[in-house]
Structure 1
Amino acid sequence: MSKEPLGFTPAPLDRQATFYVAGHRGLVGSGLWRHLDAEGFTGLVGRTSSELDLKDRPAVFDFFRETKPRYVILAAAKVGGILANDTYPADFLTENLQIQLNVMDAALEQGVERLLFLGSSCIYPKYAEQPINEDSLLTGHLEPTNDAYAVAKIAGIMQVQAVRRQHGLPWISAMPTNLYGPGDNFSPQGSHVLPALIKRYDEAAQAGHEVVTNWGTGAPRREFLHVDDLASASLHLMEHFDGPQQVNVGTGTDVTIKEIAETIGKIVDFRGETEWDTSKPDGTPQKLLDVSKLEAAGWTAQISLEDGLRSTIEWYRGHKASLRT
């Protein structure tokens, strides 16, 4: 017989409790770690992939038995851009399912009190009505270039819901929009649109190039959320929200790719012209999340896009010598 979740009462999490951040070295995980540390959590636990392979089921169970975390945020995942997702769909499906199953099964064995599973807005149908509401899940076909990754993340949502129904634990899921910030992937093969534009315009500005050429028309609209805002939203949801349905996490506003390019060009002091190669595809015209559920839970984004871009570009310039190229 199914159990109702065990009466979660919104309250501050225990700052001294053991708190495992899975994937704490990645873009999302490092943002979570910074925020939780600033919020006074003294029992943060993280392991690099070389220290703990989350695809290794016995090792994951041993880790949970040893550390016995009270709280978990599952931010670890195999991620990549369109090219990587389209080229290696089996890897993206298999590895993400393994990570999720191992971490959540081990957390269940230890009775982890509060777990947040972080997914991605790519779980929604390619042609979902804009802005995308949480109810759009499983109502249409996925974007073919990243459907394997999306299916893995949908499975994670379902696993959280199944644990709630069968075991009564008040675990939750959140689906962030396009993310950026310190620690992003700026490699040509693995980067998403925003870090790719930062790298392109910064290099052009440094070299004194007169022209930067971008794909498409620049007309598609995208929503971007700074990872520090995601970290803030994640803790807020863990302390104030309970429910089986995933929660969208975003800003509720979007901009065109052309506007993003112009802003980045201004920040890096690019003096040349931008051309648009309209023979290349634009992709989905718009991808904007409905964040009314998040706002009803009491949270809204605080970091403006321009401020977030400035800090990200500053971080990139300070670290680019050691970044993947």
Structure 2
Amino acid sequence: MANYTPPAEFILTGFSATRELQKILLAPCLALYLVMIAGNASVVAMISFDSRLHSPMYFFLCNFSVAEMLVTSTVVPRMLVGLVAERDTIPFGQCLAQFYFYFSLGTTVFLLMAVMSIDRYVAICHPLHYSTILTDNVCIQLALGAWATSFFSMIPPAVLRARMPFCHSNQIDHFFCDNAPLLKLSCSDTHLIELWDFLLAVLFDLSSFAVTVTSYVAIIVAIVRIPSATGRQKAFSTCASHFTVVVIGYGTTIFIYVRPNKNYATDMNKMVALLTAVVTPFLNPFIFTLRNEKVKEVFKDWLGHLRGL
């Protein structure tokens, strides 16, 4: 393998060999992507420029929206081009870069979910100490920790794939450079790499999921003990949106990635990956804003201001 030369490019096979079926997916996927960008960008703008939303909860939500836009943008624009292209190819270096940023940004999203659940736990279970526990410095450290941990942890997997010999084929049976389809093309023993990937998934996905579930269990117990029916309803309303995002996000990711001996590049995996990359980020801005009275109030004020211009 000393004289091994990596392939110049990979061919992404997409969803189906039938070009007509892929073209049908173009319009809805493009529409969902554009609405997702607009929705998350609006959330970021409102949180950044309106002082009513300058609190830890919305600071973490702002980071979450930025991460959602970035992780989706690493996959969807190329996927849209591939849906109409006669032959969808991606250079070797771009494929590895897409792999690295997709999984590092995806890990950031899950770590931020865990941080947001901790924020809700402190707000509901320890409301009198909320401002002293989640200070500005603590919030910044938690957010930076989520971003930095994700990006540094994904360097070894990316380097390992850059050094792998790909000699079986240069066709990736997927619409982006996903983990399992890449490993399938290698002619070397990938068991240790798969084990490393599985341990990373357990470390970040399952551990953040455990933190999130533990926080919400404590929150539910605290809400049940609230004597006022109005107070219970308000607390449940605040947390319901977060919990919906958690169920959708973790459910799809655990299905695809937190499984040893995965069945490589099945059609089911592709559809679930499409749900994770397009549909879930599209829903998140609506889930957070439609169930949040303060965000709706700010949004209405902004719309009124725009109409007055």
Give the number of the structure whose alpha-carbon radius of gyration is greater.
2
Of structures 1 and 2, the one scoring higher in RCO (CA 8 A, sep 6+) is: 2
Pick the structure with more helix per residue: 2
Common fold: TM-score over 0.5: no
Pick the structure with more strand per residue: 1
